[in-house]
Amino acid sequence: MLQNNILSVAKETISNEAKAVENLKNLLDQEFSDAVEYIYNSKGRVIITGIGKSAIIATKIVATLNSTGTPAIFMHAADAIHGDLGTIQEEDVVICISKSGNTPEIKVLVPLIKNFKNKLIAITGNKESFLGTQADFVLNAYIEEEACPNNLAPTTSTTAQLVIGDALAVCLLHLKGFTSKDFAKYHPGGALGKKLYLRISDITSENKKPKVTPNTKINQVIVEISEKMLGVTAVIDNDKIVGIITDGDLRRMLSKNIDFSELTAKDIMGKNPKLISNNAMAVDAIDLLEKNEISQLIAEENGKYKGIVHLHNLIKEGII
C-alpha cells in the first residue's frame, strides 16, 4: 500500500467507528436507565462475561467499574460452564456481552444464569437474538458494519460495546457522587494517584529545611544553601518568614564585584517570597511555580516555616 492509501484506510476506519459510536445515542432507551438503576441499587457485584473479543472488552469494563466504585468481576463464558459459575453470588448482577447473541457458549450459559435467578443484562448488537430475548435488560450495541473490509473481524462492534460499558460506568459514578478523593482511593499508585493524594507536607517532611536569620553573614548563607542542596534558603526572624535567598540571588550579588564580607542575609533577600500551605496538594505547587517562573516555594503552616518545595521534587514524584 502506498502511504496515501494507508492514511485513507485509517481515516475510513476511524470514520466508520465514530459514526457507529455517534449512533449509539439514538439506541439508548429506558432499558439502559433501568439497568443502571438496578445495578446502583443492587447489593451485589457486577459479573461481566463474554467470549472471544467480547471477553476482552468485558475485562476492560470490569476494570473501569472497579476503578469508579462499582465492584465488578470478569467471568469468561467458556470457563463459566466448567466451574466458574461459582463466581456468581445470590445478589450479583450479570452482564453478558455478545455481538450476535447467538454463540454456542452464550446459549449454554444464559439458561444457567437464569436458573440462579440473577438479573441478566445483555450488551448485544442483536436484540432479537437468544441473548437479547432472554435478558432482563438489553443494551443495544447495534452497528451497521465492521470496519474490517470483509465485515468479519470485530472492530466497530467491540468499540460500540466498550462505549456502552463506559456509559454505564459514568452513569453509576454520577449516581454514587463519586469524587476525585474517592478516585484517589482506588488509584494510589503512579503519577495519577500522586496528583490526587500527595500533599506538600509529604515532600517537606523528606527535604532538608534550609534557614538563616536576617543577620546571618553571606558566607554562612552560601554554606547553608550548599549543604541543604535545594538552591535556596528561607530567612526566618523570630519564627516569622521574612524573606528568601536563592542561588540566583547569590550569583547576581557576586557579578557586581562588591565586597560582600560585611553583607548579611537581609541585604540580598527577596522580601516577598512565594508561599504555599504545607497542607496543600502537591499538584497545586505546579501552578504557582509556572505562574511566577520560579523553581522553589516556601511551605508554611499557620505562618510557621515548614520547609522548601523544589521543582525537582515534583518531577521526581512523577507529577510533572
- Interval 160-196: pLDDT, tens: 999 999 999 999 999 999 877 777 666 666 656 667 6
- Predicted confidence at residue 318, as pLDDT, reads 79
What single-letter amino acid sits at 70?
T
Look at residue 5 and give its three-state secondary structure: helix
Measured CA to CA, the distance from residue 154 to residue 137 in angstroms comes to: 23
- Predicted confidence at residue 317, as pLDDT, reads 82
Classify domain 200-316 at the CATH class level: alpha beta
The mean pLDDT value of the chain amounts to 91
> pLDDT digits over 83-116, tens only?
899 999 999 999 999 999 999 999 999 999 999 9
Dihedral-angle region of residue 69 (phi above 0 means left; psi in -120 to 50 means alpha; beta otherwise) = left
Measured CA to CA, the distance from residue 219 to residue 26 in angstroms comes to: 74
Cβ atoms of 48 and 58 within 8 Å: the answer is yes
- Predicted confidence at residue 134, as pLDDT, reads 97
Q: What percent of the chain has pLDDT over 90?
A: 77
- Predicted confidence at residue 198, as pLDDT, reads 85
Residue with cell 457486577: 46
**pTM of the prediction?**
0.69
pLDDT beneath 50, residues of the chain: none
Pair type for strands 296-301 and 304-310: antiparallel
- Predicted confidence at residue 244, as pLDDT, reads 96
- Predicted confidence at residue 179, as pLDDT, reads 79
Measured CA to CA, the distance from residue 282 to residue 294 in angstroms comes to: 15
Measured CA to CA, the distance from residue 229 to residue 141 in angstroms comes to: 59
φ and ψ of 231, to 5 deg: 70, 20
Would you list the domain boundaries of the chain? 3-178, 200-316
- Predicted confidence at residue 74, as pLDDT, reads 97
Measured CA to CA, the distance from residue 278 to residue 294 in angstroms comes to: 18
Classify domain 3-178 at the CATH class level: alpha beta
- Predicted confidence at residue 167, as pLDDT, reads 97
Look at residue 205 and give its three-state secondary structure: coil
